[in-house]
Structure 1
Amino acid sequence: MNRQVIVPPTGLLPHRPYSPAVLIDRLLFVSGHTGADPVTRAFSDDITEQTEQAFRNLRSVIEAAGGSMADVAKATVFMTDMDADFQAMNAVFKRMFPDRPPARSTVGVAHLARPGLKVEIEVVAVIGSAA
Structure 2
Amino acid sequence: MSEKFVSSTAPEPVGLYPHARRVGHLLFLSGVGPRKKGSKDIPGVTLDADGNITDYCIETQCRSVFDNVRAILEESGSNWDQLVDVQVFLTNMKDDFKTYNKIYAEYFADNQPCRTTIEISSLPTPIAIELKCIATIYDE
TM-score normalized by structure 2? 0.84
Seen in structure 2, the aligned counterparts of structure 1 residues 12 and 85 have a Cα distance that, compared at 3 Å, is closer
Q: How does 1:48-59 map to 2 (within 5 A)?
A: 48-59=59-70
Deviates more, 1:4-13 or 1:51-60: 4-13
Query: What is the CA–CA distance in structure 1 between the aligned matches of 2:8 and 2:37, rounded to whole Å?
Result: 10
2:92 to 81, 84, 93: 81
Query: What is the CA–CA distance in structure 1 between the aligned matches of 2:10 and 2:99, rounded to whole Å?
Result: 30
Deviates more, 1:38-47 or 1:77-86: 38-47
1:121 to 121, 131, 135: 131
Q: How does 1:1-131 map to 2 (within 5 A)?
A: 2-10=1-9, 13-43=12-42, 44=44, 45-115=56-126, 117-128=127-138
Alpha-carbon distance, 1:15 to partner: 3.4
Alpha-carbon distance, 1:17 to partner: 1.5
Alpha-carbon distance, 1:30 to partner: 0.3
Gaps of 5+ in 2: 45-55
Alignment partner of 1:51: what SS? helix
Query: What is the CA–CA distance in structure 2 between the aligned matches of 1:11 and 1:107, rounded to whole Å?
Result: 23
The one-letter code sitting in structure 1 at the alignment partner of 2:101 is N
Query: What is the CA–CA distance in structure 1 between the aligned matches of 2:67 and 2:59, rounded to whole Å?
Result: 12
Alpha-carbon distance, 1:13 to partner: 4.4
The one-letter code sitting in structure 1 at the alignment partner of 2:64 is Q
Alignment partner of 1:104: what SS? strand
Give the alignment's Cα RMSD to 1 decimal: 1.5
Deviates more, 1:65-74 or 1:7-16: 7-16
Alpha-carbon distance, 1:127 to partner: 1.7
Query: What is the CA–CA distance in structure 1 between the aligned matches of 2:18 and 2:122, rounded to whole Å?
Result: 21
Seen in structure 2, the aligned counterparts of structure 1 residues 75 and 12 have a Cα distance that, compared at 3 Å, is closer
Query: What is the CA–CA distance in structure 2 between the aligned matches of 1:24 and 1:38, rounded to whole Å?
Result: 26
Seen in structure 2, the aligned counterparts of structure 1 residues 99 and 10 have a Cα distance that, compared at 3 Å, is closer
Gaps of 5+ in 1: none
Give me the identity figure in percent. Answer: 27
Equivalenced residues, count: 126
